[in-house]
Structure 1
Amino acid sequence: MLKIRLLALFLAVLLSGGANVVLAANLAAVPAQAAGTPGRTSFDGTVEAVRQTVVAAQVPGAVVELAVKAGQRVQAGQLLLRLDARTADQNAAAVDAQVQAAQAALEVATREYQRQQQLHQKKYISQAALEQAQAQFKANKAQVTAQMAQAGAARTQSGLHTVRAPYAGVIAEVPVVLGDMAMPGKPLLTLYDPNALRVTAALPQSVVQPEIASGIQVELPGVVGTAQWPQPLRVQVLPTVDAGTHTVQIRADLPTGLAGVVPGQFARLWLPLADRAAAAVARPGTVSVPLQAVVRRAEMTGIYVQGEGGQPRLRQVRLGRTSGDRVEVLSGLTAGENVITDPAAASRAPAQ
């Protein structure tokens, strides 16, 4: 009789479902909850610099001095790098010598022309001789003007071997090293202005309404504190639609002084759901779980869920933004699944 009762109790445990098994294993589990902001939907965007410059070489030459490195702040006019300018300097010196020679010839022609004028006034030479001296004087004067122009061009050419910052900013990339050969058009470094950043996102044409700019909110998931939700200074809706994707580009200018915000960073634009069309294209519903339920092992991020028979099963997920003690799960989990809140205990649970 006792054996029959024990067998009946065992069958009742098996038929009672996973929740009882979890309790028997002393593993607390909570259901995954639907996440999101009521009445709003988000679209993924990217932080980009309003003013970003790829500085390229205008003249050929080897890189002989590299004065900056990636991540360094520079001021307007600060030396960035220098190319080998020996050939250009020699050409400039040669042209300067030609200018001096032309000026000397002009002085001789000027005195000769003055003498010819005096002789002509005294009727000692003909008008033709005077005109010849005048023509020689004008030719020498034109020669001096041409040589001076060439000297200016040579000095400008020599100055192109010194690259300076066009404005104050941050060096984003330096793809060259000392000794590299720079050619016209070859990028030498990338510079951006950290005080002029914006978030750009592509929105479906169906959700872009005339009043959309007034209700947009910006989220920077990679930033902590109040800077995670900055107030955009200006929202611009570009007046063109991409023919391939039928999307409209939205730009939201960020305020200055946001620490930890750099170009290329992930961002979101939150829009109010004004109509059914917006709701139809909204991002699929995500779920949220307690932050303590997240497991991180090397490059894997996962969550223990209650599997068949109540046993914990580690599942890889992709996380989104964190709000308080909960974190958003973008993929790998559906609403209603039981999530084990103690991953350490779940990892020690015996397998059946």
Structure 2
Amino acid sequence: MKPFLLRSLVLACLLAATGVRAADSLPVVTVAPHAVDLAFPAEAVVEAVQQATVGTQIAGRVLEVHADAGQSVAKGTLLMRIDGREAAEAARAAEAQYAMAKLNYERQRQLKEQKFVSQAAVDKAKADFDAAAANRSAAGASQSHASIVAPMAGIVARRHAEPGDMAMPGAPLFTLYQPGSLRVTASIPQHRLPAMRGVTTARVEFPELGKWVDATTIQLLPTADAATHVSTVRVGLPALPDVVPGMFARVHFVTGQAQKLTVPAAAVVRRGEVAAVYVQAADGRLLLRQLRLGEAVGKGEIEVLAGLASGDKVVVDPVKAAISLKSGK
């Protein structure tokens, strides 16, 4: 016997066995065609609008670490200290060269006033003095780079170095982000772009959290990736305490409306490829009815293509319905 016929036979047996009167306290919803949003989904990733990767501009060993992942920091907070002895010695040498160049320039000016040297000698001493001053400023700045501070207020998303590691210029040390400003980025194929240009509304689904939110902004970037031929869409999010950068999301871009018959997704019972719901008959009995479902629409609803009619009462909680049937109530 084919697997599909076997499943249908099993479901038919279940349907025949569910003629038990149900408890009146079961929560039900009366289904009827209603206006739902037509949308197409796109997988997306949560990212921070304001995020910074902090590194160092000098090479040195990590001596002290003052922050870790998950910690909130204020702007200017000391995050890490790097061994800056080489930078400090370079600053001392630059300071000595500056002092010598300054004395030489002043001496050449005095000699010029006494007509012992030419103007060219004074100009040369002035150029050496300016170069030494610039070198001193650069060396002083390099010395200050041994202290790594937070460039903005936010949360430490990741720490990339441990005490004793060798920090190199260009290598990341910390990643920070501001939790109050998050968005999701989705990739849209080229054949969807004409419809996307008229989209002004979208809903963002977080499957792992079981949460839906309305998008605050929708921005279609004007370029496409040359390798994948997709365009990036940035969708703004409201403040969400449970959402963090890197989390998976699904964006539903609304393109219009239509009348459809739907049931809550939580009411659907799935057994392999078979989908069904508990329907409460007029006499109070519970019947398990097989459905042919379409796409997810609205907020937590699924379109019903066949199996239900307008006015049917569907039990919202299938677990309670099953318990009620098992107990014979």
TM bucket (normalised to shorter chain) is 0.5 to 0.7
Task: Give TM-score, length-normalised by structure 1.
Answer: 0.62
For 2:14, the aligned partner's letter is G
TM-score for both structures, normalised by structure 2: 0.66
* 1:212 partner SS: coil
Shift in Å, 1:246: 4.4
C-alpha distance in 2, partners of 1:62/1:263?
30
Q: Structure 1 counterpart of 2:106, which letter?
A: E
Q: Give the Cα–Cα distance (whole angstroms) in 2 for the partners of residues 80 and 150 of structure 1.
A: 28
Aligned to 2:77: 78
Which of 208, 214, 229 is 2:213 aligned to? Answer: 229
Contact 1:175 1:189 in 2 (8 A): yes
Aligned pairs, number: 277
Amino-acid identity (%):
33
8 Å Cα contact 1:213-1:237 kept in structure 2: no
Residue in structure 1 matched with residue 15 of structure 2 by the alignment? 19
Give the aligned residue type for 2:70: G
Distance 1:60 1:286, change over 3 A: farther
Change (3 A) 1:190 1:322: farther
The answer on whether the counterparts of 1:174 and 1:188 sit within 8 Å (CA) in structure 2 is yes
1:197 corresponds in structure 2 to 182
Q: Which amino acid aligns with 1:203?
A: I
User: SS at the partner of 2:199?
Assistant: helix
CA-CA distance at 1:155 after TM superposition: 0.9
In the superposition, relative to structure 1, how do residues 263 and 111 fare at CA in structure 2: closer, same or farther (>3 Å)? same
Give, as a single letter, the amino acid of the residue that structure 2 aligns with 1:193: Q
SS of the residue 1:76 aligns to: coil
**Corresponding position: 1:158 with 2:143:** yes
Q: Name the CA shift for 1:210/1:321 in 2 (closer, same or farther; >3 Å).
A: closer
Higher strand share: 2
Distance 1:191 1:286 in 2: 42
- Letter paired with 1:267: A
Deviation at 1:191, TM superposition (A): 1.4
Cα distance in 1, alignment partners of residues 306 and 230 from structure 2: 30
Shift of 1:190: 0.8
User: Which residue among 234, 237, 241 is the counterpart of 1:251?
Assistant: 234
1:149 aligns with 2:134: yes
Distance verdict in 2 for CA 1:154–1:107, change over 3 Å: same
Instruction: Output the amino acid matched with 1:239.
Output: P
Give, in whole Å, the separation in 1 of the partners of 2:192 and 2:120.
76
Q: Deviations over 1:155-178 (max 9, x none)?
A: 122122222222222211002111
TM-superposed deviation, 1:235: 1.1
Q: Which fold has the larger relative contact order, with Cα–Cα distance below 8 Å and residues 6 or more apart in sequence?
A: 2
Following the alignment from structure 2 to structure 1, what is the Cα–Cα distance between the partners of residues 112 and 153?
55
Aligned pair partner of 2:36 in 38, 50, 71: 38
Matched position secondary structure for 2:173: strand
5+ long unaligned stretches in structure 1: 1-13, 118-129, 277-284, 295-302, 307-319
Equivalent position amino acid for 2:160 in 1: P
Whether contact under 8 Å (2:37, 2:298) holds in the other structure is no
1:139 matched residue in structure 2:
124
Equivalent residue of 2:184, what SS?
A: strand
Contact 2:98 2:132 in 1 (8 A): yes
Distance 1:239 1:105, change over 3 A: closer
Query: What is the aligned counterpart of 2:249 among 249, 267, 272?
Result: 267
Give the equivalent residue in structure 1 for 2:201: 215
- Asked if the contact 2:37/2:297 (under 8 Å) is kept, the reply is no
- After superposition, give the CA deviation of every residue in 1:74-111 in whole Å (9 maximum; x if it has no partner): 23332221211011101111221222222223333333
- Counterparts in 2 of 1:133 and 1:249: CA distance versus 1, 3 Å: closer
| Aligned residues of 2:200 and 2:254 also touching (Cα < 8 A) | no
Whole-Å separation in 2 of the counterparts to 1:107 and 1:241: 62
Alpha-carbon shift at residue 61 of structure 1 (Å): 0.5
SS at match of 1:38: strand
Distance 1:335 1:265 in 2: 35
Q: Which runs of 5+ in 2 are unaligned?
A: 1-9, 278-295, 308-316
Counterpart Cα distance in 1 of 2:19 and 2:77: 67
CA distance in structure 2 between the partners assigned to 1:39 and 1:148 by the alignment:
67
For the pair 1:341 / 2:295, whether they are aligned, the reply is no
Paired letter, 1:167: M
